[in-house]
Chains A and B, each alone.
Chain A
Amino acid sequence: MSEQTTVSGMNNWFARPLAMWHAFMHAASIRGSEAGDAGPRTSAVEEQFEEMRETWLASMAKWAEFAQDPLHGKVPTPDELREMFSPASWTAPGKGALDAALKGFLEGPRYATLFDFDRKLLELQQGTLQLDREVAAYQAVMQKAWTLAFERFAKAITAGAGDGTWTWRALTNQWLATANETLIEVQRSDDFLQAQRRMLRAASDRRLQERRVAEAWCEATHVPTRSEVDELQRQVVELRRELRLLKRALQTSPHDTPTNTDARTARASALRARPGAKRSRA
């Protein structure tokens, strides 16, 4: 089916109901009735009804014209239409309508006071779908590896069948050796390294999206967040670091040598000279 056929078909889809409404409103009109065609309007109510009818007709025409516009932009192809209605695309992560809707919302305009938490939840949902995709891709690489290992094992068994007998131990050892060699070889391939990298990255990103959702809840319920505690710990560690180095610079040791005394003094001076550095009172 060509795009042109599709467009004209869609146009008919809107034109036909519109014609039906026109006919309906004409039939329902006082002016349109057999009795009313030749006669004048009889009352104010009838006049108002007539106005409503005309307003309604104009509105229908306007909406019908508006609805037809997108048809001249991106027109779904028959394959896309098929995929839209395919149950498989609703369940698997990928190019389904759900992913498209998520993407549309998350990439769309942002509002100052609307939908912030919803956006975080949807980002987490998107992250989960992405992780599923990367795990599936990694498993596909591993599946190939296992298949290759089994092919090699089968060949080895066939080739090495000397007297036709294999003990269970010899078979096990042969399988382990073959699988070991094959998996090590696959681990060094770019496909594997990139699949594992993407999977790890998707897992990290998702975990951080989870944190953003959790922190939104924490802020609403007056609970310190992970980021706040991390920041606090960072400040404590930096302060302790400065304190230790300053204390050390002030201490003397019977085994002080020019090398380590100079190093300690130099570091302590550098610390004191830093903007915002606190003077130690310890």
Chain B
Amino acid sequence: MPSKRKSAAGQAIAELDDLHFKLARGQRLLQRLKDDEVKIATADKEVVFREDKTTLYRYKPTAPRRTVDVPVLVAYGQVGRYTMTDLQEDRSLLRNLLALGVDVYAVDWGSPTRGDRWLTFEDYVDVYLADCVEHICRAHDVPAINLLGICEGGVFSLCFAALYPARVKNLILTITPVDFHQDQAEGRPGHGFINLWTRSLTDEDIEQLIEAHGNLPGELMSHVFSQMTPGATMSKYNVGLLDTFDDEKKLLNFLRMEKWLADRPHHPGEAAKQLLINLYKNNELVRGEFRLGDRRVDLGAVTAPILNVYAKDDHIIPPKTTQALKGLVGTRDYTEIGLDGGHVGVFVSGKSQGVLGKGIVDWLRGR
């Protein structure tokens, strides 16, 4: 017997009842949950090297046998923390790589304070990243490693590969900006706000900002990111949270993302100036004018095979800014993969799990 269609009043009452019930269920879930239960970056690992605030982790293997001979070092950037790559058990690039038989290392740049304001790109590439690479090379008795850079970490990795080509066996870049002026190339209104925003600032504005705070405050970058998706920002703590009340796993995933988002380290001041002025504003990397100390970063000197992964709906690093790498590097072994999803979504969304990790490992196996 078909159900009777409700009147408008009946429908309204039913909806209101559903809403109240959802709210009550959510309240009960939230009351039960403690912050200690919301853990991220829990894959088993050990500290193998430290230098100042930089920490190098080696992850405990989970696969019965190794499928890629040379270890992979995952280098995140300084806008956010590497823990996003291991958000939770079923949303973790690192765990996916481990399960596929890869020996995984990850570098954590730490939490810069005012004392770190004078650190530059050169310090991160020539010293911290280079020393992590040296440690892995010595530990495994290999001349070169597989380097996987993410976002600004991809820029570090690219610079490292250009300056120390002998130390990089294969280079994997994910959501990495190369040409910072290609943000409007696809004409998508919601894309490339950071590029527009930095181009609207004068060099002096940026220098005053850094002088006033010492570093580029993590809170400021959080605010800029929030601005990029106004609808999502407005609805996150009401409608967004409400949508998770039906499913405890969904709620925990939401809370884990919140934990990662809240952990927004400051960006060391001098390095931030290089990022915003030399790269975002002046686009020196793609023009071959970006310098680390007295050396020019020549992308043509990158001779390692490259896998360049981008997210098709990435509003923070629009695809064209990443794809620009193709004609600039010295290697002929260049592969691009465009994945469905956004900037962080390619790492943490349910749909993308396994896709990125498998794509990387399949590519590495042939090299």
Contacts and interface: CB of A to CB of B under 8 A. Distances in A.
Interface in A238-282: 238, 241, 244-245, 253, 255, 257, 259-260, 263, 267, 270
Interface in B87-133: 114-115, 117-119, 122-123, 126-127
Contact of A255 (B15, B122, B137, B232): B137
B258 interface: no
A205 B208 contact: yes
B294 A200 contact: no
Interface in B139-198: 142-143, 163-167, 189-190, 193, 196-197
A164 B320 CA distance: 44
A197 B19 CA distance: 42
A208 B208 contact: yes
Nearest to B211: A208
Given A207-B213, A233-B117, A176 B127 contact: no
Interface stretch (B74-82, B223-231, B246-254, B329-337): B223-231
A41 B261 CA distance: 97
Given A187-B227, A200-B201, A237 B118 contact: yes
Query: Which of B117, B137, B208 has the most A CB atoms < 10 Å from its CB?
Result: B208
B117 A257 contact: no
B235 interface: yes
Interface stretch (A31-39, A177-185, A216-224): A177-185
A260 B126 CA distance: 11
Interface string A190-234: 000110110011011101100100000000000000000110011
A168 interface: yes
A91 interface: no
A167 interface: yes
A172 interface: yes
A165 interface: yes
A201 B227 contact: no
| Secondary structure call for the B interface | helix
Nearest to B167: A260
Interface string B201-240: 1100100110111100000000000010111101100010
Contacts of A233: 114-115, 117-118
Contacts of B11: 165, 167
A29 B115 CA distance: 79
B119 A237 contact: yes
B8 interface: yes
A17 B197 CA distance: 63
B263 interface: no
B211 A234 contact: no
Contact of A176 (B196, B197, B234): B234
Contact of A263 (B127, B164, B214): B164
Contacts of A241: 122-123, 127
Nearest to A149: B230
A168 B227 CA distance: 25
B164 A260 contact: yes
Contact of A196 (B123, B197, B213): B197
A41 B188 CA distance: 100
Contacts of B213: 204, 207
A188 interface: yes
A257 B303 CA distance: 15
A187 B118 contact: no
Contacts of B211: 204, 208
A176 B232 CA distance: 8
A260 B166 contact: yes
B69 interface: no
A169 B143 CA distance: 58
B205 A259 contact: no
B31 interface: no
B359 interface: no
B10 to A, nearest CB: 12
* Closest CB pairs A-B (n = 3): A180-B231, A193-B200, A183-B230
12 contacts: A172-B235, A176-B231, A176-B234, A193-B197, A208-B208, A229-B114, A237-B118, A241-B127, A245-B126, A257-B166, A263-B295, A267-B294
Interface of A: 165, 167-169, 172, 176-177, 179-181, 183-185, 187-188, 193-194, 196-197, 200-201, 203-205, 207-208, 211, 229-230, 233-234, 237-238, 241, 244-245, 253, 255, 257, 259-260, 263, 267, 270
Given A188-B189, A230-B117, 19 more contacts: A165-B11, A176-B239, A179-B234, A180-B230, A180-B232, A183-B231, A184-B230, A188-B193, A197-B200, A197-B201, A204-B205, A204-B209, A204-B211, A204-B212, A207-B212, A207-B213, A208-B211, A237-B118, A260-B164
